[in-house]
Amino acid sequence: MRRRTFIKSGTAATVAGLLAGCTGDSRNEETTTESSTTAGTTTDEGTTTQTDDGSYTVSMAPMGDVTFDSVPETWVANNGSWADMGVALGREPPEAVWLANRYHTRYYDEIDGVSVDASGMTSLYQGGVDRELFYSLDADVHVIDPNFLMNRFSGWNQADVDEISEGVAPFFGNSIFSTGYDWHSDYQYYTLYEAFEKLAQLFQRTDRYEAFASLHEDFQSRVSNVVPAEGERPRVAIMWASGDEPTSFSPYLVSDGTSFKQWRDLQVRDALDETDVRDFHASRAEVDFETLLEIDPDVLLLRGQEHKTAEEFQNTIVSFLQDDTTASDLTAVQNGDVYRGGPLYQGPITNLVLTERAAQQVYDVDEELFDREQVANIVNGDF
């Protein structure tokens, strides 16, 4: 196998970790076996350099400096966060992601002029991850944190990562969606737009990134304007709920990571943070109806339901809670404030859609918070 791109310098990626929420549609499928690979890290200086022969180097923690002899054409991404960044840069979606059914393309329906067909997208995880799949995909770059492959399940080690890096194409990614594990503090963490800028440097489309960054700055100002005074914000609880009739829930406290960006930006009042309930990332905790009733949030936001439309969610989850003798006593159920809680992964486009939706859910905002036409123009290079 020829190697079209190569790592020029920097340490190998060998930090341990487990990321929840990435192996299946249900909460139970998230709890696969952790391994314990640990090693050194690389400091990201945030530089991009160009050489006379047309090759260029981009620095990304934890890989360090990664050099490309030309702009990658085909690629593989870890999840919908990175896939959405690629779409925002006007690129074709990746050939594969960890789980294709976790890349929710329905959000693009909110924006005329932007659409993504992910029907033929491959799932990297199929009860495990086969190295031969990487050879068959033959991508020009793998936008995946290799620590994810080595520590998300019992399967890969550093030798496997090195084989694919040298035999197919390098890895270039960071686990940005969550900072809920100790291993992630061992190397630099990127915010959504810091990671987006890195991918823009990789694909040599920093002009689109800069246009999105400007749009996002205006968007953040609009979001701040709709946030009510602290004492007027409702108490919200974010839980993972599996299936159509859930009786136990995994708690997600609002924290760092792109997974919670909309909730941080909206400065929601986290009902779980006011209790002794521990976050699912740290404890694999679950709560039942009785515990949920003790917390009794004003707004209940349920994750794991993004494959449903709002109407489908109402006809299944909400209807079930309304009919249950205990759940029906919840303030959020009685007031009709039970909603889909957003996906685990979001990029620059989907974050706009999800934040606006969250503002509608939590603060009853009925205005558009971003310019759809401007988003489409940037994606299509017309700006």
* pLDDT of 80 higher than 60: yes
- For the residues 143-163, what does the mean pLDDT come to? 89
Q: How far apart are CA 65 and CA 211, in angstroms?
A: 26
Q: Cα separation of 107 and 352, whole Å?
A: 10
Any residues with CB less than 8 A from the CB of 205 and at least 6 apart, and which? 89, 90, 91
Report the distance separating Cα 75 and Cα 69, nearest Å: 15
Calpha distance 78→148 (Å, rounded): 9
What does the pLDDT read at residue 48? 65
Among candidate residues 18, 4, 15, the one with its CA nearest the CA of residue 61 = 15
Nearest to 251 by CA among 236, 239, 269: 239
Q: Indicate the pLDDT class of residue 47, thresholds 50, 70 and 90.
A: low
316, 53 Cβ separation under 8 angstroms: no
Q: How confident is the model at residue 49 (pLDDT cuts 50, 70, 90)?
A: low
**How many angstroms separate the CA atoms of 315 and 206, rounded?**
43
Per-residue tokens: 374: 């401007």
Binned at pLDDT 50, 70 and 90, residue 54 comes out as confident
Question: Tokens 């990562």 belong to which residue?
Answer: 161
For 81-110, write each residue's pLDDT tens digit.
999 999 999 999 999 999 999 999 999 999
CA atoms of 313 and 319, how far apart (whole Å): 8
Point out which residues pair with 339 in neighbouring strands.
Answer: 301
Instruction: Read off the pLDDT of residues 284-328 as tens digits, 9 standing for 90 and up.
Output: 778 999 999 999 999 999 999 999 999 999 999 999 999 999 999
* Residue 196: exposure state from Cβ atoms within 10 A (0-12, 13-18, ≥19): buried
**Average pLDDT, stretch 185-205?**
93
**How many Cα neighbours within 13 Å face the side chain of 242?**
14
User: For 34-48, what is the mean pLDDT?
Assistant: 41
CATH of 5-217 given 3.90.1300.10, 3.30.565.10, 3.40.50.2000, 3.40.50.1980: 3.40.50.1980
Over range 19-30, report the average pLDDT: 36
Question: What is the average pLDDT across 107-125?
Answer: 95
| Burial degree of 345 (CB within 10 A; 0-12, 13-18, 19+) | buried
| Gap between the Cα atoms of 43 and 257, Å rounded | 19
Q: Which pLDDT score, from 0 to 100, does residue 272 have?
A: 92
Query: What DSSP character marks residue 318?
Result: I
Is the pLDDT at 30 greater than 90? The verdict is no
Q: What is the mean pLDDT of residues 72-78?
A: 97
Residue 71's SS3 state is: coil
pLDDT at 1 over 80: no
Tokens of 298: 């004003």
Confidence of residue 31 (pLDDT cuts 50, 70, 90): very low
Better-scored residue on pLDDT, 53 or 18: 53
- Is the model's pLDDT at 336 over the cut of 50? yes
The residues that bridge with 301 in the sheet, in sequence order, are: 238, 339
- The whole-number pLDDT of residue 2 equals 35
Mean pLDDT score, 206-227: 98
Q: Out of 42-46, 145-149, 156-160, which region has the weakest mean confidence (pLDDT)?
A: 42-46
Task: Locate the domains of the chain by residue range.
Answer: 5-217, 227-379
Any idea which fold 227-379 has? Rossmann fold (3.40.50)
- Give 63-73 pLDDT, tens digit per residue: 999 999 999 99
pLDDT of residue 9: 32
207-232 mean pLDDT: 97
**Radius of gyration from C-alpha coordinates of the chain:** 21
Rounded (10°) CA dihedral 266, 271, 277, 282: 0
The torsion defined by the Cα of 179, 130, 94 and 175, in degrees rounded to 10, comes to 10
pLDDT tens figures, 252-266? 989 888 999 999 999
Task: Please compute the mean of the pLDDT values over residues 127-132 and round it to a whole number.
Answer: 93
Is 176 within 8 Å of 351 (Cβ atoms)? no
Mean pLDDT of the residues in the chain: 86
DSSP H or E segment with residue 160: helix 158-167
Give ∠ CA 176-179-185 in degrees, rounded to 5.
105
Q: What is the pLDDT of residue 51?
A: 66
Residue 86, pLDDT score: 98
Lowest mean pLDDT among 59-63, 169-173, 345-349: 59-63
**One fold for 5-217 and 227-379:** yes
| Residue 27 predicted with pLDDT over 50 | no
Number of DSSP helices (H) and strands (E) in the chain, helices first: 14, 14
- Separation CA 38–CA 288 (nearest Å): 35
Widest CA span in the chain = 71
pLDDT grade, residue 180 (50/70/90)?
A: low
Element (H, E) at 223: helix 206-226
Taking only the tens place, the pLDDT of each residue in 351-373 is 999 999 999 999 999 999 999 99
pLDDT at 255: 87
| pLDDT, average across residues 46-51 | 61
Residue 28 has pLDDT above 50, yes or no: no
Cα 280 to Cα 282: distance, rounded to the nearest angstrom? 5
